[in-house]
Amino acid sequence: MTDSSTGGYLSASATPAPLEDAELNAFLQQVLVGITALAGEYVRPRWQVVPPNQPEVTTNWLAFGIQNRSGDTFAYEIHDHAGNDGNGQDIVNRNESLDIACSFYGPAASGYAARLREGLSVPQNREALQTAGMALIECTNILSIPALINNKWYYRADMTIRLRRAITRIYPVLHLVSSGITLNTDVGINQNIEVTENL
């Protein structure tokens, strides 16, 4: 594996790794099922490769998906002397916001949306989010957006949940053990200096 002693690009270590893609959707699905009390089969990620059949017009269900991920402009980077078997590593932290679009369908769509909004106000319901390094920022207004499909009106209520989370990635940046430099002054004195770190 490439590290700072070999030059070239550095890839982040496999662990710790933030929840991403399918794992993040699976985690969010568990949270949404737990708070809304909808059956797991009726809380579905959007944009699946093979979309499941849409439930009947009389069925209450939820489709969710991350629409926007906005990270802080600057990350926080610190060198960890103890990490990587004592050879050092850089830890990069960045906060990001996740906008999760939730579309509720069925005759009680607005009620389930409100249940989710109020449920996220209960600290016990946010414990799983906190364990995963996430926190609730806000729930947006609930919008009623009925859709006419196959000559039937499907009632739909939309809202967005905004979460904040901390992202941590570790890179194999080793300690700077020693370096040789040349000191040039305005008066023409040139001196070679060897700098050595005592760990």
- Where is pLDDT greater, at 3 or 138? 138
pLDDT in tens, 145-157: 888 878 888 899 9
Give residue 15's pLDDT.
80
> What is the predicted pLDDT for the residue at 178?
66
CB of 119 closer than 8 Å to CB of 161: no
Q: What are the pLDDT digits (tens) for 86-141?
A: 778 888 889 999 999 999 999 999 999 999 999 999 999 999 999 999 999 999 99
The pLDDT, as a whole number, for residue 111 is: 95
For residue 79, pLDDT beyond 70: yes
3-state percent helix, strand, coil for the chain, nearest multiple of 5: 20, 40, 40
CA dihedral (104, 110, 111, 115) in degrees, to 10, reads: 70
Residue 198 has a pLDDT of 55
Instruction: Say yes or no to pLDDT of 199 above 80.
Output: no
How far is it, in rounded angstroms, from Cα 20 to Cα 63? 18
At 25, is the pLDDT very low, low, confident or very high (cuts 50, 70, 90)?
very high
Confidence band, pLDDT 50/70/90 cuts, at residue 55: confident
In degrees and rounded to multiples of 5, residue 104 shows phi and psi of -95, 135
Chain mean pLDDT for the chain: 87
Quickly list DSSP for 96-117: EEEEEEEEEESTTHHHHHHHHH
CB distance 3 to 10 below 8 Å? yes
What pairing do the DSSP bridges indicate for beta strands 43-45 and 61-71? parallel
* Cα 114 to Cα 42: distance, rounded to the nearest angstrom: 17
Nearest Cα to 64, choosing from 93, 35, 86? Answer: 35
The pLDDT value recorded for residue 195 is 62
pTM over 0.75: yes
Among candidate residues 142, 143, 68, 77, the one with its CA nearest the CA of residue 100:
68
pLDDT at res. 197? 60
